[in-house]
Structure 1
């Protein structure tokens, strides 16, 4: 039963078969239960199993590293601190999802800290998915802090996804961009019932000709609450763009707080935000094709968050 639960969670936040057939470390309830490394990727446990050190060598191409976290114990808090280095001129995908299964009445908490360095000329695609399941009375809580430094001529692409089931979540992401460093962030969040999420993204563009693009999509249903803080700080010749769109339903509440700061005359920063309901015309069009109103809404929401 436990193995089946683990596999289902892994498939929600990643792909179980790809994990086991690739470079990976699976952490379950505070302990590493499976690990595969390679000549080009080193994975080392920190003292007291508090996290990982992941080192990718220079000039490594086409490698995917999986470091999922699984929590199935109730009344349990797992604190993880990972340090990750992507070597110069490497091109790597890193998938660091977390999934919780809590079938009890108490809370399960994931506190994760990632410190990542993307070295000169490297490319990193970083995917972080959060998913939870279990009883309606148990609390599934996710708190993450991510600190990333993107060095000269390096590129970072981030996907931050909260799929479903997370009762409370606080996400803090701080990124420093050096000369010619480029960043693209895609954030997708879904909340329902009385779930709450706070997402804080702070980008410091200290390097000349650095760029940042943030695209955030969220859906808030029922009585859930979402708060977004976006900060672009242009300290050199740079360009930054934030696009934040939210669909709000029922009695939900969404707050978007942008902050643009420039200390260089050649910094170009833009923020766009929109919060609103699903257009009735879209629902009616799908219903005319034979869908029920609920099916039409689900189809629109899935497309919006895709």
Structure 2
């Protein structure tokens, strides 16, 4: 792929005004957000954050025990967030982190209170509506000791946009015996460049579950979040489901560092190309014992395209247990014939197999969100077959 020229995008436009009621958004925008897992009419949520182009337009917590602020407000309130800001991601990592630091538009700061069990998800949306807009955000999530939180974050671009670039920095802090489930759904477009840069730290007994769903076209996506299991008994799991149609280039993956005893890491990736390119990376490093890690990457090629699976296992001490499975191929003809023998035509049989392959049940998502993803898969099938 050609290098990304950030000068093509406008990072200097003024921030939009506040939107008190997200239901006032036009129907096209609300549909785009829904396909990214964000239901502006939802009542069963603990809070909502929405960022549009170059500024936050809506920020509200609905439940005690969880604080939701725009990152700039949080920096003003908490002395620059020095304890967290740029402590896990290197500000000088690359051109994209440097740009995100110099042209910060916003992002969310979400923190639970110690011991708070936030049962309903917090939903956030990072939305690009303008033409050739460059968006730079920095998100910080802090799940305090003995608390639980589920965040559903949707990233999307308006159908009318002629091009966009999204630079997103995210830093996750899961404290002792806390649990974070973080579900990210990307609904970009053929003309969008996306550069997330993310890292997390999980303390003793903490759990970090990361779900990622990308079913729509995107011009160029590059992401490789790293989570360090820094405390005894910490757990991290990455689940991802991705589809790359013609014209999409996805360079994705994740890294788990087992840095303390009795830690466990798991990665499960399901990828389909219908003409695009997918580089599926995965890296588990075992630096303490006992520790266990497993990486699984499976890909289907439907109608052309490229899948390049790069699993890495790294052990630096005796006794680490690491394993991986990687497979790339096509749908087995005998599977299709088996279903056809039971009354399905070839297209229905293929569709059934693909739906099973893209199963998101392991992600532990709310039923309504699973329904949205199922609907998105149905839309994708029109392009797949």
Q: TM-score, normalised by structure 2?
A: 0.74
Residue 130 of structure 1 pairs with residue 186 of structure 2: yes
Whether the 8 Å contact between 1:6 and 1:70 is mirrored in structure 2 is no
Paired residue secondary structure (2:28)? helix
Which of 226, 244, 254 is the aligned partner of 1:174? 226
Counterpart position of 1:192: 245
Counterpart position of 1:144: 196
- Give structure 1 stretches of 5+ with no counterpart: none
Which of 263, 273, 278 is the aligned partner of 2:316? 263
Q: Comparing 266-275 with 41-50, which one deviates more in the overlay?
A: 41-50
Matches within 5 A, 1:14-25: 14-16=37-39, 17-18=41-42, 22-25=46-49
Give the Cα–Cα distance (whole angstroms) in 1 for the partners of residues 211 and 347 of structure 2: 28
Counterpart position of 1:212: 265
Counterpart position of 2:70: 45
CA apart distance, 1:194: 1.9
Whether the 8 Å contact between 2:148 and 2:180 is mirrored in structure 1 is yes
Paired residue secondary structure (2:56)? strand
Deviations 1:117-146 (A, max 9, x none): 00000011110110135xxxx502222121
Give the Cα–Cα distance (whole angstroms) in 2 for the partners of residues 19 and 86 of structure 1: 23
CA apart distance, 1:294: 3.0
Whether the 8 Å contact between 2:47 and 2:68 is mirrored in structure 1 is no
Counterpart position of 1:73: 130
Instruction: Looking at secondary structure, tell me which structure has more strand per residue.
Output: 1
Counterpart position of 1:113: 169
Change (3 A) 1:102 1:77: farther
Residue 154 of structure 1 pairs with residue 206 of structure 2: yes
Counterpart position of 1:87: 144
Instruction: Looking at secondary structure, tell me which structure has more helix per residue.
Output: 2
What is the number of residues matched between the two proteins?
A: 300
Q: Comparing 174-183 with 12-21, which one deviates more in the overlay?
A: 12-21
Change (3 A) 1:8 1:203: same
Paired residue secondary structure (1:296)? helix
